[in-house]
Structure 1
């Protein structure tokens, strides 16, 4: 599991240390500072996944720090904490770009849930950028890459399904691009001018998910400082995409079923009934029929959602699309590099349990780690297929080009140089990412903590 880097700015020492200990035990890599100025200094030195700022701090207050922080790291999700809660302050924080707002003393469990939700949304945005690059442009911003028969059949069925109004269930493994198919259902439908709102149905506990979906009245629960419409209402006239529907709590499943039957919602803490016109598209990487048998998913909801099912094929079932995807990824990354035949052959032999997402990550890794314009198997972290051992691994390489491990020397020499190769690859990844440790760790396929240990162990320093 990835360790997220978190920046905490809080001038009250005891509360700062309490939060740091609590969040560190949860696996976060917490950098704790006492002022907005120190927070900005930290942001200039390192990229963070999220931040928590106290509203009242010496010098720069939370809002001013937030505005400056988003100039340094534009995508940074920020939570604002304050002991002076008011609707006006909350509105000011949200308008300034805060992800959410909590009053002190805050419920630490609730803070953790909101923080996880912020990180999930950011991860989803990053993931979607990668997944969208898995598709060739096919009108209205959708991109589909591939000419395989399984993909063609899926798109033909998707286009037909899009014209109706019934719920749609999208099935497929993680990384296959289920949200992209959901967006295609929306954009190819008569609802294309309406909103498309995605939500992870298994990311929140039941009470918070119910509030997120159906909204709540002011004072409905602790922290509900204002009335809030739910995502079902906000998606009115468009499409609500419920990802990971198989992980939705059973009590929320019952409320979703009732909405599908009546198209009526009632906000938490209200008696007023609101009628909403929205299409539900759900996705899962689980077999819902098995979940029904295990008692984890309602059978009546399953049949209500499974009016039409779209199955997104895994990449291993459409391997003929891999060369086209690789070419597309290289172009989208703005790279003039190219795969050697051996690298492409190694890719074609992979199982790709992570599907298109895994392929994109491998191509990105190869672009960064390749020392020249030819991406070899070792740049991808893959081995040369047995049938190709002894062949040059860099197409077009002349006598002075880098030799592959199999081109000379014995096994002892190869293993003796393993640490030097690893050190060079780590140094290259850090250099290419401007010593952004989080990005470098992702490219190398290791955790941030592992990368820190490697940096310390090899004595790596910027500018070496």
Structure 2
């Protein structure tokens, strides 16, 4: 079965050259010189891949891409653009294009992209299977979510995991960017390869280059033997560069080369090494602002930002907090063989907290509470001090004075209502209510006898 390609470009000489060259290679070729012809050709011919120029005499390439992507979701679109319009090509990829080439391009470069595109077409058959696996991973890896924002991220993960496009994850620390990177790897055809994670902020600047690219014997004092770097270790797999904004400018040029050409040199070597890796990066900094300030290379930024995913903070999806707490508790229940519980009153406090450390802070807080819990019912005293103190900033019901009662009588009535509420929230469990109120069980029983006997 022949592979069918459609080239859309207003440069007639280029169309003829491409048509002649790829027909000799055994491809079925269709050409179009403008948008109107492209609409007709794509409808009449069963093409697999469409090479689409961004600047056509009668149409905007981005508009055509949007139109064709909706009408022909089974086809793959590759953008062709002039050198000075790379930013538009990146925008096109975000709009659904598979890849882009900068004109003039060599035939072997074009054919390499074609082969990658056909591999992608073949993998589309696995989409239903990947959807089921993704659902399983959402539950099994701490990514339970009811929020629209997170579900959109899951759908994007499903779409991009079968490609080799670079991904930039941005969001606050603790939101789960590393888990998303791992999820992309596990759903990709590279899942049998290595997943190598590198925290660029945790490695001293003078050691980062050798850590990423390796070094040869004698490259520096103490280099008694050659050593491979993280990129070589990730061969045929995925490399995840966390805190990419911390990479110094002096190293960004070499990083651009490996992102763009998939090649690099070890420290102290003149030999070019090729590597086949999927690159995912993450940052909690504003890289676009860093580009404007001259602290991050613009060309590297656009290469890393082919697919960008913003991971929202936990305070932006508070409806997920009860589900996450339940998941974390379930792991401790299985491990400790104890049925840990959180009352509805305590849950309201935890939902009201801002969680500046996001999901990571929540997970650590639950683990701390389980360790400090005397029984099986967690109390606010089991959680970190800052969460306990947050109670003071949460809304307090307005009290309306009852002028028919004395101050001691009104205070007793307030205390009575608080005790009743705590007992109801803890389903009649006196020990749990006492811990929540910060009093001993004996003290609470005394108060109950005093206030609830009539």
TM-score (norm 2): 0.57
* 8 Å CA contact retained: 2:193, 2:235: yes
Equivalent residue for 1:184?
183
Equivalent residue for 1:86?
none
Equivalent residue for 1:369?
372
Please list every run of 5 or more consecutive structure 2 residues that lacks an aligned counterpart in the other structure.
1-133, 398-416, 444-454
- Give the CA deviation at 1:372: 2.4
C-alpha separation in 2, matches of 1:398 and 1:276: 61
The alignment status of 1:332 with 2:331, answered yes or no, reads: yes
Equivalent residue for 1:286?
285
3-state SS of paired residue (1:236) = coil
Equivalent residue for 1:355?
358
C-alpha separation in 2, matches of 1:151 and 1:348: 18
Residues 63-462 of structure 1: pairs in structure 2 closer than 5 A: 137-138=136-137, 142-334=141-333, 335-381=338-384, 382=388, 384=391, 386-387=396-397, 391-392=421-422, 395-398=426-429, 403=434
3-state SS of paired residue (2:434) = coil
Of 257-266 and 278-287, deviating more is 257-266
C-alpha separation in 1, matches of 2:142 and 2:382: 27
* 8 Å CA contact retained: 1:323, 1:344: yes
Higher gyration radius (CA): 2
Q: Structure 1's 403 and 139: CA in aligned 2 closer, same or farther, altered over 3 A?
A: closer
Equivalent residue for 2:404?
none
* 8 Å CA contact retained: 1:199, 1:243: yes
Q: Structure 1's 268 and 140: CA in aligned 2 closer, same or farther, altered over 3 A?
A: farther
* 8 Å CA contact retained: 1:197, 1:231: yes
Equivalent residue for 2:10?
none
Q: Structure 1's 353 and 139: CA in aligned 2 closer, same or farther, altered over 3 A?
A: closer
C-alpha separation in 1, matches of 2:214 and 2:348: 51
- Give the CA deviation at 1:204: 2.4
Q: Structure 1's 191 and 371: CA in aligned 2 closer, same or farther, altered over 3 A?
A: same
For residues 332-363 of structure 1, the C-alpha deviation after alignment (integer angstroms, 9 at most, x for no partner) is 11241100111100011011110001111111
Structure with the higher helix share, 1 or 2: 2
C-alpha separation in 2, matches of 1:408 and 1:277: 62
Q: Structure 1's 210 and 401: CA in aligned 2 closer, same or farther, altered over 3 A?
A: closer
C-alpha separation in 2, matches of 1:140 and 1:328: 9
3-state SS of paired residue (2:181) = helix
Q: Structure 1's 223 and 342: CA in aligned 2 closer, same or farther, altered over 3 A?
A: same
* 8 Å CA contact retained: 1:136, 1:142: no
C-alpha separation in 2, matches of 1:148 and 1:211: 41
| Matched pairs, number | 276
3-state SS of paired residue (1:202) = coil
3-state SS of paired residue (1:310) = strand
Between the two structures, name the one with larger relative contact order (CA 8 Å, sep ≥ 6): 1
Q: Structure 1's 176 and 353: CA in aligned 2 closer, same or farther, altered over 3 A?
A: same
Equivalent residue for 2:93?
none
TM-score (norm 1): 0.55
Q: Structure 1's 214 and 389: CA in aligned 2 closer, same or farther, altered over 3 A?
A: farther
Please list every run of 5 or more consecutive structure 1 residues that lacks an aligned counterpart in the other structure.
1-134, 414-464
- Give the CA deviation at 1:370: 2.2
